[in-house]
Structure 1
Amino acid sequence: MKKKLLAIVGPTAVGKTKLSIHLAKQYNGEIISGDSMQIYRGMDIGTAKVKPEEQEGIPHHLIDILEPHEDFSVSDFQALALQKIDRIHAMDKLPLLVGGTGLYVQSVTHHFQFSEVGGDKEVRERWEAYLQQHGAEALHQVLTMKDPEYAKELHPNNARRVIRALEVIDSTGQSMSAYQQDWDRTSPYQLVMIGLTMDRKVLYDRINQRVDQMIEEGLLEEVKRLLSLGLPPDTTALQAIGYKELILYIQGQMNLDEAIELLKRNSRRYAKRQLTWFRRMKEVTWFDVTDLSKWKENEEIIAQYVQESYSY
């Protein structure tokens, strides 16, 4: 019999963390973060990392496991998440995979085998040489021409994944976005996927309010502290939304108000990309949580859906 896995997905600021804690308490669960930036220590405010006092005693995994300068890939994440799922099941508990990084979540829910996508050392070395000669922006521009959809998912400074995508194209003749579209395998888990959505205007207002709250809580000081550790501004971790915009202010390229507005705009655009990604996944059952006055009611509706899905 397949092992149970409950996934909670959706755009930033929609309420995934709050719901996950409620369901974990109700169904004896532990939470695995599906966020590509919450893995880094010291990046708390900008990633909206759940605070210890907000966890309500529920164990949270794959948070604060790396320093910001350390490399980490989706295949690294997949391996660790699969280990955590097995350990949680060994304790006869329910694993909840919660987050908004689509590729990270899907790599776990469907056991994407990265080795299945062909590779070629000679091709990889050629693109690595191109990177050294022309730089990350030029390399990313090549991918944009070859696979514009997948290029949108990658920051130019994430050269490791950009090179991997180019390697796949040159080695197999098929783009990474095409592989993802063709990817229709059944999950190896007894998978229940909850998607949270809300009216676009309400969501965008929540995102704007969240950014304002982050600034009040000291996001600028958090960014300065990371830079004081000697991290180059183009470190992959510091290219996360919430960090790269304030670095532009610190570098004198724009004033603080402009940086905050850019942060809000980038966060809204990211939310749109998240929704696009998860709406491609046929397993997601969507729940509209626009009416925040009915949050408790919606929590119980979703909890009932989980109970019926797993026959608790």
Structure 2
Amino acid sequence: MKEQLIVIVGPTAVGKTALSIKLAKKYHGEVISGDSMQVYKGMDIGTAKVTDEEQDGVPHYLIDIKHPQESFSVAEFQDTCIPLISQINRKKHIPLLVGGTGLYVNAITKQYQFESMPTDEQYRQELEQLVSEIGNESLHNKLREVDPKAAERIHPNNVRRVIRALEVTHVTQIPFSEQQGEEQTESPYSLAFIGLTMDRERLYERINQRVDLMMEQGLLEEVRALYDAGIRGCQSVQAIGYKELYDYFEGNSSLDETIDLLKQNSRRYAKRQLTWFRNKTDATWFDMTDGLTDQTFQEISSFIEGKLPFISK
């Protein structure tokens, strides 16, 4: 019998955390973060990391497992997450994979085969040196020249992913976008795949409010600590909320301009997330415009119980 898995995806600020905690309480669940930035220690406010109070006793995994100087790949996420799902199932509990990083989620639900991807350590190091000289955008343009489809899918600030795509294309002479589709046609899990959406204006309003709240909670000081520690050019500080404030610390913008840009970039990211999840996943969508109402929670619960008939309540 397949292992059970609940997946919750959706754009930033849509309400994934609150729903995951409530479902975990109902179904003896344990939460695995599917967010590429919540793995980093000391990056709590800017990544909207679930607090101890919000966790309310529900076990959470893949949070605070890396230092900001370290990289973290989707393959490493997959290697860490799959055993966790099995471990939680063995306890007769339900794993909930929750997050906004689409590639991470699909790496689990479709189990991409990363180990078959070739490597060239020397070429990768050359690219890492090159990006420090020419910048993210120029490196992304190199990818666009050899593999426009991959460039369209990979954001310029996801430097590790851009380098990986260039590396694989260089070694195989086959575009990366034509190779990463090694995925199982059927999920290895009994899957309840939930997508959360919201009226666009309401979502953007929530994002703007969240940024203001983050600033009140000390985002400026959190990012300043990373900046003062000399953390530069790392995957971690390319995250929205960190890269903008780094520019501010370097005198490239005023604080008000920086906050406005942070809100704008967060809204654009949410739009990209929604587009990605709608096009690349098999999620069943639930509207959260009115918040997590009793009716919405009941609809989601009924959906889960229909997909996972052996779920323990």
1:242 maps to 241
2:256 maps to 257
Q: Which amino acid aligns with 1:88?
A: I
Greater mean deviation of Cα atoms: 273-282 or 47-56: 273-282
1:308 maps to 306
Give the deviation of 1:201 after TM superposition. 1.1
- After superposition, the Cα gap between the structure-2 partners of 1:279 and 1:179, relative to the gap in structure 1 and judged at 3 Å, is farther
Q: Which amino acid aligns with 1:299?
A: F
Unaligned runs of 5+ in 2: none
- After superposition, the Cα gap between the structure-2 partners of 1:178 and 1:49, relative to the gap in structure 1 and judged at 3 Å, is same
Give the deviation of 1:83 after TM superposition. 1.6
Greater mean deviation of Cα atoms: 61-70 or 221-230: 221-230
2:11 maps to 11
Greater mean deviation of Cα atoms: 280-289 or 219-228: 280-289
Report if the CA contact (8 A) 1:195-1:284 is conserved: yes
CA RMSD between the two structures: 2.0
2:49 maps to 49
The alignment covers a number of residue pairs equal to 307
- Structure-to-structure mapping, 1:87-166, within 5 angstroms: 87-117=87-117, 119=118, 121=120, 125-126=122-123, 128-133=125-130, 135-137=134-136, 138-154=138-154, 156=156, 158-166=158-166
Report if the CA contact (8 A) 2:196-2:287 is conserved: yes
Unaligned runs of 5+ in 1: none
2:283 maps to 284
- After superposition, the Cα gap between the structure-2 partners of 1:211 and 1:165, relative to the gap in structure 1 and judged at 3 Å, is same
1:296 to 294, 297, 300: 294
Report if the CA contact (8 A) 1:14-1:196 is conserved: yes
SS at structure 1 position matched to 2:107: helix
Q: Which amino acid aligns with 2:256?
A: D
Give the deviation of 1:21 after TM superposition. 0.6
Q: Distance in 1 between matches of 2:119 and 2:32?
A: 33
**Can you list the C-alpha shifts for 1:247-267, whole angstroms capped at 9, x where unaligned?**
111111000111011111111
SS at structure 1 position matched to 2:280: coil
After TM superposition, the score normalised by the length of structure 1 is 0.91
Give the deviation of 1:10 after TM superposition. 0.6
Report if the CA contact (8 A) 2:124-2:164 is conserved: no
Report if the CA contact (8 A) 1:5-1:192 is conserved: yes
Report if the CA contact (8 A) 1:157-1:235 is conserved: no
Report if the CA contact (8 A) 2:110-2:184 is conserved: no
Q: Distance in 1 between matches of 2:295 and 2:92?
A: 28
Q: Identity of aligned pairs, percent? A: 53
Report if the CA contact (8 A) 1:248-1:254 is conserved: yes
- After superposition, the Cα gap between the structure-2 partners of 1:141 and 1:221, relative to the gap in structure 1 and judged at 3 Å, is same
Q: Distance in 1 between matches of 2:190 and 2:78?
A: 18
Give the deviation of 1:59 after TM superposition. 0.4
Q: Distance in 2 between matches of 1:23 and 1:135?
A: 46
- After superposition, the Cα gap between the structure-2 partners of 1:179 and 1:277, relative to the gap in structure 1 and judged at 3 Å, is farther
Greater mean deviation of Cα atoms: 162-171 or 253-262: 162-171
Report if the CA contact (8 A) 1:102-1:277 is conserved: yes
**Matching of residue 59 in structure 1 with residue 59 in structure 2:** yes
Give the deviation of 1:127 after TM superposition. 5.5
Give the deviation of 1:146 after TM superposition. 2.7
Give the deviation of 1:181 after TM superposition. 6.2
Report if the CA contact (8 A) 2:197-2:288 is conserved: yes
Q: Distance in 1 between matches of 2:8 and 2:179?
A: 24
SS at structure 1 position matched to 2:14: coil
Give the deviation of 1:175 after TM superposition. 3.1
Greater mean deviation of Cα atoms: 94-103 or 127-136: 127-136
Give the deviation of 1:41 after TM superposition. 0.7
Q: Which amino acid aligns with 1:302?
A: I
Q: Which amino acid aligns with 2:203?
A: L
Q: Which amino acid aligns with 1:161?
A: R
